[in-house]
Copies of this chain bind each other. A is one copy, B any other.
């Protein structure tokens, strides 16, 4: 049978089966599934154009036009966020998919509140991000200027999106903050849950593989290297075997702590005291006092047996 004949014969039934599964499993609980990913990306672009005009544009802008660009970006961001937020709230406030298409006054009111809080927070966020840029400049001898941080450091991408997502997350808007943090994760390898609380002058160097959990708190002047996990050690299940949500399960990191590459720090009652240094590849599930130095023993080298047939053997 020719492929086209086979397709003509089989595709209708396959398609109907796929549609039925989607209707049963997924459409009933849809929130902002339709086209949400593209819109969240646009929101991030508009918010960052407002905060750092010029860095994210496709064409060079004239410095005199910066004011207009900022103004436009703020208005566009407000519009996009309003649209996303109304959509997210509306689809949560009813299970009737027909009603979800109608405007809803309560959803509009809550969305407007998210927009006001987020847009109103921009100048404060901009100042915080300037301190983060300085922290990267002082924290990395390879950095030659603050602008290099903005143009080529993943820490800047991750922390700028996190601080925006955190503000929106605190407004109790579902879904959107996590889509924002995952956008940053995809581009940087740095996965910060929007619920995490992060202090001033934060710097993640390189960053690939960093995970900062939802209930983590981080003080001021903290520096973290690639591959560091601030995660959960365990979690409780309810009577139905489902994980209990909303429990504190990630560590607290105090001021002026440095954590080297690949260290794993787990647990909601784990606290790293201020001015501590955690060495690379350390595995830690309990608290350490201020000014601690924690590092693994270094294995002694043995002489390698260079066998003729096997390329590598450990």
Contacts and interface: CB of A to CB of B under 8 A. Distances in A.
Given A142-B193, A209-B227, A292-B301, 13 more contacts: A14-B122, A15-B70, A29-B146, A34-B61, A37-B56, A38-B58, A141-B244, A141-B249, A142-B213, A142-B214, A208-B208, A211-B261, A260-B266
A15 B56 CA distance: 17
B32 A151 contact: yes
A191 interface: yes
How many monomers of this protein are in the complex?
3
A21 B299 contact: no
A34 B19 contact: no
Contacts of A140: 243
Interface residues of A, number: 158
Given A57-B35, A264-B281, A280-B264, A235 B141 contact: yes
A295 B306 contact: no
A115 interface: yes
Contacts of A74: 11, 14-15, 18
A288 B22 CA distance: 40
A34 B11 contact: no
A154 interface: yes
A19 B225 contact: no
Contact of A303 (B21, B236, B292, B302): B292
Nearest to A27: B63
A43 interface: no
